[in-house]
Amino acid sequence: MTKYELRKFREQRRILKGLSDDADEARRSIGLTAQMDEAIRTGAKRNSALEKAIEKYDKIEADYVSTFIQYANTRKKIEKLLKKLTANEAAVIRLYYINGLTWEQTAEKLDYETRHIYRIHGEALKKLEKIKK
C-alpha cells in the first residue's frame, strides 16, 4: 500500500460525501421523491423538468454506487494491512486516511505532538511499502 493509494482512498471518501450531498440536493430541489411517487401512482407522463431531474439523480446514484464499491474494496485492503502495523501506526493511518481527520486532530486524539504523528506516519508508510513488495 503506497502513500498515493492511501491518498486516493481519502479522496474517494470526499467524493462519496459530495455525491451524497448532490443526491440530497437533487431530491430537495424539485421534490423528486414525491413527484416520482405521484407519477408512478397515476401513470402520468413525466414532464421534461422531472425527466431531467430523474436522469441527473440516476447518474449521481450510479456514480455513488461505483465509487462506494471501489471505496469498500480499498478499505478492506487497508484494514487487512493495518493488522501488520503497531497500534500507534495503525491508529494514525486509520484516523487520517479512513476517518478523515487532519494531522492536528489526529495528534490531539492520540495525545501526541503533531511532529510525532508525522514520524509515526512515515514509519507506517515504510512498513506498508515493504509489505506490498
The residue range of the domain holding 59 is 1-73
10 and 62 both lie in a single domain = yes
Sign of CA dihedral 124, 2, 66, 50: positive
44 and 108 both lie in a single domain = no
Asked if residue 78 belongs to a domain, the reply is: no
pLDDT band at 2 (very low <50, low <70, confident <90, very high): confident
46 and 104 both lie in a single domain = no
| Residue 102 belongs to domain with CATH number | 1.10.10
36 and 67 both lie in a single domain = yes
Across 54-82, average pLDDT:
90
69 and 92 both lie in a single domain = no
Q: How far apart are CA 109 and CA 39, in angstroms?
A: 50
Own/partner long-range contacts of 24-31 (Cβ < 8 Å, ≥24 apart)? 26/53, 26/56, 26/57, 26/60, 27/57, 29/53
Tens digit of each residue's pLDDT (9 = 90 or more) over 5-35: 898 899 998 899 998 888 888 777 666 556 6
Q: What is the mean pLDDT of the chain?
A: 86
> pTM of this prediction?
0.73
Q: Structurally, how many domains does the chain consist of?
A: 2
61 and 105 both lie in a single domain = no
